[in-house]
Structure 1
Amino acid sequence: MTRLTIDVLVHETAWRDAVADVEQVCRRAALAAAEASNRIPDAAEIAIVLADDAEVRRLNRDYRGRDAPTDVLSFAAWDEFAPKSGADVIPLGDVVIAFGTAGADATATGTPLDEHLTHLVVHGTLHLLGYDHISDSDAAVMEGLEIAVLERMGIDDPYGSPHSDRT
């Protein structure tokens, strides 16, 4: 049985005003992504940082060379193919989400912010577990997994048309 510790750090308090029980939304999304991936070690931890655009812009500039905010950044600390470290708990890494950018994206697509946040946490968690979207084939695998996880959570496909059975 996998034991996953999910720490949610709220650096931007506007998240708490905009999303009810925001910490639980994040934990639920990260756990769902990890369970669906079949790549999670027996005991692991993830940190989810709910930040503002300035913090994400700084991180994006310092670590990716892009001087602009983005909706989500993932900083993986674990490689499933690396030799076993012997640690009791494996740190998978950090997912950092920008309030302003995520909120603007949600508004632009007509998606409730809690659902968009769920998608971003799922997406970021999958990155921590080694998924990426650099090639078309890798993107298809990752997006397919995201869609399946979100569907199980009752959230529409963020890459396509809404499910026909939802109102």
Structure 2
Amino acid sequence: MSELTDTVIEDDRWQDAGLASLAERAAIATLTHLGLDADAHEICVMGCDDARIAELNTEFRDKATPTNVLSWPSEDLAAEEDGAAPFAPDSEDPMGGELGDIAISYDTCAAEAAESDLAFSDHVTHLVVHGILHLLGYDHVRDGDAELMERKEIEILGNLGIRDPYNRDGGQ
């Protein structure tokens, strides 16, 4: 079995945080939950800081601020109908099953985890799952799509033993 994720570390704090193993675990759990063959796909995950993600957010989204995670899908898999499941990626495509790229900021992740009283590794795992779902055509712009994406996140995280990040009372 080959690795599903290729992790690029631009901020050394990610090395100590174990981003490579967290990303791999999140990616396998996400694809498995969605019935996709993890061996047929690849994802690049870049661990960076707020300055770098702010540059990327400015360049690609015209938002000159840091954010927690950004995603660049290799193909548009979004459903046309609000709340419908996205199209499945083609594991036979000429890109070799590359789903896309994700960038995640250490600074923003750490601040959000502390603010929400979440374990840092759980929050990182959630954000990687979130980013991968974006690569797979899930989104949260339309209400039905947002409900579907959030439900998938909760299910995947639950399978990993991570509490529902949207349940504000701290219960499972």
TM-score, normalised to structure 2, is 0.84
**Percent of matched pairs sharing the same residue:** 39
SS in 2 for 1:75: strand
Which is richer in strand? 1
Q: What is the CA-CA distance between 1:16 and the residue it aligns to?
A: 2.3
SS in 1 for 2:44: strand
Moved more, 130-139 or 76-85: 76-85
* 2:101 aligned to which of 89, 94, 113: 94
**AA aligned opposite 1:149:** I
**AA aligned opposite 1:89:** G
- Give me the whole-angstrom Cα distance separating, in 2, the residues matched to 1:101 and 1:54: 10
- Give me the whole-angstrom Cα distance separating, in 2, the residues matched to 1:83 and 1:118: 22
- Give me the whole-angstrom Cα distance separating, in 2, the residues matched to 1:105 and 1:65: 22
Q: Which stretches in structure 1 are left out of the alignment for 5+ residues? A: none
- Give me the whole-angstrom Cα distance separating, in 1, the residues matched to 2:47 and 2:134: 17
* Residue in structure 1 matched with residue 68 of structure 2 by the alignment: 71
* Residue in structure 2 matched with residue 46 of structure 1 by the alignment: 43
The correspondence of residues 1-80 of structure 1 with structure 2, limited to 5 A, is 5-17=4-16, 19=17, 21-38=18-35, 43-80=40-77
* 1:153 aligned to which of 126, 150, 160: 160
- Give me the whole-angstrom Cα distance separating, in 1, the residues matched to 2:2 and 2:170: 33
- Give me the whole-angstrom Cα distance separating, in 1, the residues matched to 2:37 and 2:139: 16
* 2:147 aligned to which of 133, 140, 154: 140
